[in-house]
Structure 1
């Protein structure tokens, strides 16, 4: 019975969300903190710069 209640609650939450694309600034705000953390932890600064350049190119088209 508890599983059913959780499934019902999850369905209610998803109904209230709008579909569509996320604003690029919101997406960047969500992606930058984990990217910075991974850069610090793994030392992959060159990879982050390359990806950021690719994203900037996509947003600029």
Structure 2
């Protein structure tokens, strides 16, 4: 069992160097690019699952708790 951890770590290190799983560890994505990638999916999920009502309800509940 103790033998598996070094192999796993070595695999992850090799995968990062090879550019697998999101590129090298030093590669950074600009925050605006990340937001541009996430926001369309978030908007789709809000529309499909009716999440806007849930967000408003939760925000209202938090506001009431903080106002006490």
TM range (shorter): 0.3 to 0.5
Where relative contact order (Cα < 8 A, 6+ residues apart) is larger, the structure is: 1
Larger radius of gyration: 2
Higher helix share: 1
TM-score for the superposition, normalised by structure 1: 0.42
TM-score for the superposition, normalised by structure 2: 0.39
